[in-house]
Amino acid sequence: MRAILRWGVRLCTLLGIAGSLAIVGANQFSSANDHRHFKIDGGSMKPTLDVGEVITVRTTESPQVGDVITFLRGGKTTTHRVMSSWKSTTPSGEIHTLYATRGDANTHDDPWVVIDDQVIGTVLPTPFYTLIAVELAEHPTVLALLFVPLLLSLFITELNTVWVLVKGKDDEECPERESNPQDVAIRGV
């Protein structure tokens, strides 16, 4: 029975620690300065990106033709593919890169032009642990359940400690007592 309890405590502890590390690691990645995460809320990028899919956007990369980018338009974010780009100079002499974009599900380029100041960044593959962190953030009950094994292992460990204290020192196991049929312990236990 004791062996089962020990393995149960070890298993619960490992599960609790693994869950905690996954959450901390995903949180660290999610809060990196050069990455942002968005959830796709439209179908214009199907089949490349589905509605509800979480994307990772690297804010430090300059988009190239063929890249999928996320940009601000009318106060909302849009994610489309860059079809072409060119340089333009404003009347005040500032040079900007302009992008023609299109959703993968669309047959024509977007009716607007995206200015480099509107670009948030380039879409990258999203690591699975970031997806897990997003799901956990949306379902706090599941997040709480990840800590149950850790709490259970602490409870079992404390229960075992109390059991040893209640049982007393007279019943402690002694290896010499097992090999000595007269119950005379060599170590005085």
Classify residue 17: in a domain, yes or no.
no
Tens digits of per-residue pLDDT, 13-68? 676 666 666 666 655 555 556 788 888 999 999 999 999 888 989 988 789 999 99
Q: How many Cβ atoms sit within 10 Å of the Cβ of residue 71?
A: 23
* pLDDT on residue 184: 57
Classify residue 45: in a domain, yes or no.
yes
Average pLDDT, the chain: 79
Classify residue 74: in a domain, yes or no.
yes
> Among the listed ranges 41-55, 82-96, 97-111, 166-180, which one has the minimum average pLDDT value?
166-180
- Whether 49 and 55 have beta carbons less than 8 Å apart is answered as yes
Q: For residue 188, is pLDDT > 60? A: no
- Whether 50 and 103 have beta carbons less than 8 Å apart is answered as no
* pLDDT on residue 166: 73
**Average of pLDDT values for 157-178?**
66
Backbone φ/ψ region at 4: left (φ over 0), alpha (ψ -120 to 50), beta: alpha
Tens digits of per-residue pLDDT, 115-137? 999 999 999 888 777 777 777 77
* pLDDT on residue 174: 57
- How confident is residue 185, by pLDDT bands cut at 50, 70 and 90? low
Helices (H), 81-184: 128-138, 140-146, 148-167, 175-179
Kindly give, in sequence order, each residue whose CB lies less than 8 Å from that of residue 125, ignoring residues fewer than 6 positions away: 56
Dig out the tokens for 53 from the structure. Answer: 């899919």
In terms of residue numbers, what domain contains 68?
A: 33-126
Amino acid at 127: P
- How confident is residue 92, by pLDDT bands cut at 50, 70 and 90? very high
State the CATH number of the domain containing residue 73. Answer: 2.10.109.10
Q: For residue 180, is pLDDT > 80? A: no
Classify residue 37: in a domain, yes or no.
yes
Cα–Cα nearest to 23, from 148, 153, 146, 154: 146
Classify residue 63: in a domain, yes or no.
yes
Cα–Cα nearest to 132, from 29, 50, 41: 29
Q: Cα-flanking dihedrals φ and ψ of residue 14, to 5°?
A: -60, -40
* pLDDT on residue 102: 97
Classify residue 7: in a domain, yes or no.
no
How many domains is the chain partitioned into structurally? Answer: 1
- The secondary structure of 3-62 as a DSSP string is HHHHHHHHHHHHHHHHHHHHHHHHHHHHT-TTEEEEE--SSTTTTTS-TT-EEEEETTSP
Classify residue 71: in a domain, yes or no.
yes
Distance of CA 89 to the CA centre of its chain: 42
Q: For residue 69, is pLDDT > 80? A: yes
